[in-house]
Structure 1
Amino acid sequence: MPDSTATLARVTELLRRHPLVDGHNDLPWEAREQSGYDFDRLDLGGDVATTCTDVPRLRAGRVGAQFWSVFVPSSLQGDAAVVATLEQVDAVHQMVGRYAGELGFARTADEVEGVFASGRIASLMGAEGGHSIGCSLAALRMLYVLGVRYMTLTHNDNVPWADSATDEPVLGGLSAFGVEVVREMNRLGMLVDLSHVSADTMRDALKVTEVPVIFSHSSARAVCDVPRNVPDDVLTTLRANNGVCMVTFVPEFVSPVVAAWRREAAAAAADVGVKSTDYEAFRAFTREYRVAHPKPSATLEDVVAHCEHVREVAGIDHVGIGGDYDGTETYPVGLEDVSGYPRLLAALADRGWSDEDLAKLAGGNVLRVMRDVEAGARELQETRGPSLATYRQLDHPGS
């Protein structure tokens, strides 16, 4: 029987030397909803009962770097989505400034390691959904200028140029403008994030991209068969692309039992006119639905199974962690909040993962991808200027 105390001590020491880089945390949207970004009312410096994330628990979880999601619901479109995204970006800048003794802003892999070496938690940003740019490559470029370092191509709903995993397919992947979005992200040095997109969009993006991609918070479809997870053929292609799949902790995506419960909840919601892809409305619906239909629990072992499957299919160099804390209602037993990462790594260590393996999972792989994307951007910028293409020009010529 493994000595859990000794294993946790081993993992704690490893995370003192190697930054744990989580791919996705929705605290900024929670700050908007709970306090209007008022960090006097929602003081993250102490224990916060209404979120999964605060500074003390980030420290307990040995988090070295966090991609904060500047998510806005895909129910917002056009100018409203762009403005709300800018408000989210501003909130992250305000948050990092407010807790400057604990958090430090980072835009590159070197800056992540520099902030980590200073004893603070490196803070990066990722935009969750192409609706955040309003079909404008200029808006994409300005998000990059403001520090956003990945964009998830879709959220729960299709965008005009890419199909989502949880919407009805329209394009069968990427449109011509969607291809140009990926190419411009490559040129900028912004990570292409394929969480939330349809499998065909994943495949199209992997054909188009000139640098590695990420899945910021997705798990393995072979282990839990839901559209938000990554099929094995895509994981195999990801190995050739040299990208990384950051395994998420969302119970509906890691446990087949919880996934079945969600399908039942989605059917019940549809009966009363609530779409399961409507982030806010479905979240409110399931809070009530759970009273009469208790939600099953996922476990830490469920997440372990996804980490091991991604490792088996894509390889140890292509697996990471993207918890999606504060982005859903419940979390697996043992991973209830951001303090739980060492328990996950300890469970993997007990299954034979070496320190080198664990360091790659924790952050080494995504830092490698960031460096590859940064280097690729420098090369592309030598031969290619900013794209002047427009959605209308590429997808609706002559209109």
Structure 2
Amino acid sequence: MRFRFAALGLSLSLAAIPASAASDAAQRLAHDAIIVDTHIDAPSMLLSHWDDLGVATPGKEFDYPRARQGGLDVAFMSIYTSPDEDAAGTAWQKANTQIDAVEAMVGRHPDKFAILRSPADLERLRKGGRVLLTPGMENGAPIGDDLSKLAALQARGVRYITLAHSANNRIADSSYARDKKWGGLSPFGEQVVAEMNRLGIMVDVSHISDDAVRDVLRVTDVPVIASHSGMRHFTQGFERNISDELALAVAKEGGVVQLVFGTGFVNPQAASDTQAYFIAEAAFDQENAKLAAAGKPVKSKDAFDKEWELAHPSPETHIDAVLDQIDYAVKLIGVDHVGIGSDFDGVSGHLPVELRSVADYPNLVEGLQKRGHSDADIRKILGGNLLRVWTQVEKAAKR
């Protein structure tokens, strides 16, 4: 997830955040289980400010030392492109540059990182304590209207694609768009889903509209994922989070809902502020369009964002907000259909106090243990369920 105002340099400082204080039992399970986080925004952050993530990098939420401290095994690196880049025709270039950044991390530290292209390679590649990186594309904009680009992205290691982001695109309507263009998937979007099935790229239904999710489930032949969504039950009216109805439909088809950590998804007040931001932003853009049409100077978007951020501070949120989401999802759709997609480095540090970075997965494990989840079920939530879906999608493509 990337908010425009998240790029203003207003992220919280991570330098003073202590190491996870989880129990020994939680630490052991976190390091023994396979942890798969399906949404970490490191690549786009590297383009705005380069850091060597193979060493300790306090200004970021993902780096190798803290990933090992937290027990992270597989990190889906978000290859994010914005609606503005889509409109400018630069999304394809931006996406490939971010994939290059992921490959550069591996090239610089082959003893610490490796690219994971298939679950079948996981055990071999993680030997020696490597953290495995898999590109997951956030926004289908880079393919433009050229279906053949999907195969090129698959060849570069992309293993899921979020069909749209914060605006309608050629593929699907966005959950954030006030005016939907297609009423779900576009005709081209249906072709995209079918081609992703054929290539073995997981379809990600986070960010898209409810009708688009329904269309995806009608078209797809394999299970789908929601790579980083919250449960709408806790944030009524927030279409960006998945409804009970659609979560059940995703699970019925064998898919998995990867639950997000960001405050804007798990805290009702923060979610309400997020919805209000997109409404205010749309009005601001309309006003600027009128000013431009009249030949008058337009207002500063940076100033608008800074003013909004100051007027809507992120409320302090604790890990219980994430645990409540997991408990609810497990009861609603079953433990075999729940996972995690943190959104680290994508929400400007707006995270629960106890989940500030990839070092903190043991805190989540301890919370789940205290709430009565068995270690076997926790292993499923941490990564087992996602790996099952990925394997199914891959096998179907090979057939």
TM-score for both structures, normalised by structure 1: 0.86
Residue 193 of structure 1: CA displacement? 0.6
- Matched ranges for 1:114-129 at <5 A: 114-129=124-139
1:48–1:6 CA distance, 2 compared to 1 (3 A):
closer
Question: What are the superposed Cα offsets for residues 85-116 of structure 1, whole Å, 9 maximum, x if unpaired?
Answer: 11111111111211211111110011223222
**Residue 72 of structure 1 aligns to which amino acid in structure 2?**
T
Q: 1:97 maps to which residue?
A: 107
Picking from 172, 191, 201, the partner of 1:190 is 201
**Residue 309 of structure 1 aligns to which amino acid in structure 2?**
Y
- Matched ranges for 1:299-318 at <5 A: 299-318=318-337
Question: What are the superposed Cα offsets for residues 121-175 of structure 1, whole Å, 9 maximum, x if unpaired?
Answer: 1111111111121121111110001111111111111112311111121211112
Question: What are the superposed Cα offsets for residues 229-276 of structure 1, whole Å, 9 maximum, x if unpaired?
Answer: 11111111112111111000111111102122334444555564499x
Contact 2:43 2:98 in 1 (8 A): yes
Contact 1:53 1:338 in 2 (8 A): yes
Q: 2:214 maps to which residue?
A: 203
Distance in 2 (alpha carbons) for counterparts of 1:163 and 1:268: 19
1:197–1:6 CA distance, 2 compared to 1 (3 A):
closer
Distance in 2 (alpha carbons) for counterparts of 1:58 and 1:201: 34
Contact 2:176 2:278 in 1 (8 A): no
Q: 1:337 maps to which residue?
A: 357
Aligned partner of residue 343 in structure 1, secondary structure:
helix
Contact 1:58 1:338 in 2 (8 A): yes
Distance in 1 (alpha carbons) for counterparts of 2:377 and 2:271: 29
- Matched ranges for 1:1-399 at <5 A: 8-35=23-50, 42-77=51-86, 79-167=89-177, 168-225=179-236, 226-266=238-278, 269=281, 272-273=284-285, 285-329=304-348, 330-379=350-399
Q: Percent identity?
A: 37
Distance in 2 (alpha carbons) for counterparts of 1:371 and 1:285: 45
Residue 195 of structure 1: CA displacement? 0.6
Contact 1:261 1:296 in 2 (8 A): no
Question: What are the superposed Cα offsets for residues 166-206 of structure 1, whole Å, 9 maximum, x if unpaired?
Answer: 11212111122211111110010000011111011111101
Please, which moves more after superposition, 129-138 or 348-357? Answer: 129-138
Contact 2:21 2:363 in 1 (8 A): no
Contact 1:131 1:159 in 2 (8 A): yes
Distance in 1 (alpha carbons) for counterparts of 2:203 and 2:122: 19
Please, which moves more after superposition, 168-177 or 183-192? Answer: 168-177
Distance in 2 (alpha carbons) for counterparts of 1:284 and 1:230: 32
Runs of 4+ in 1 over 4 A off after TM superposition: 264-272, 281-288
Residue 289 of structure 1: CA displacement? 3.1
Residue 220 of structure 1: CA displacement? 0.6
Contact 2:162 2:207 in 1 (8 A): yes
1:217–1:331 CA distance, 2 compared to 1 (3 A):
same
**Residue 316 of structure 1 aligns to which amino acid in structure 2?**
V
Please, which moves more after superposition, 112-121 or 85-94? Answer: 112-121
1:302–1:157 CA distance, 2 compared to 1 (3 A):
same
Aligned partner of residue 82 in structure 1, secondary structure:
helix
Contact 2:30 2:365 in 1 (8 A): no
Contact 1:30 1:326 in 2 (8 A): yes
Residue 117 of structure 1: CA displacement? 3.7
Please, which moves more after superposition, 317-326 or 297-306? Answer: 297-306
Q: 2:15 maps to which residue?
A: none
**Residue 256 of structure 1 aligns to which amino acid in structure 2?**
P
**Residue 165 of structure 1 aligns to which amino acid in structure 2?**
S
Aligned partner of residue 204 in structure 1, secondary structure:
helix
May I ask how many residue pairs the two structures share in their alignment?
Answer: 364
**Residue 132 of structure 2 aligns to which amino acid in structure 1?**
A
Q: 2:8 maps to which residue?
A: none
Aligned-CA RMSD value? 2.1
Q: 1:389 maps to which residue?
A: none
**Residue 302 of structure 1 aligns to which amino acid in structure 2?**
A
Distance in 2 (alpha carbons) for counterparts of 1:284 and 1:306: 34
Residue 119 of structure 1: CA displacement? 1.9
Please, which moves more after superposition, 181-190 or 170-179? Answer: 170-179
**Residue 48 of structure 2 aligns to which amino acid in structure 1?**
E
Distance in 2 (alpha carbons) for counterparts of 1:282 and 1:45: 34
Contact 2:44 2:79 in 1 (8 A): yes
Residue 306 of structure 1: CA displacement? 1.0
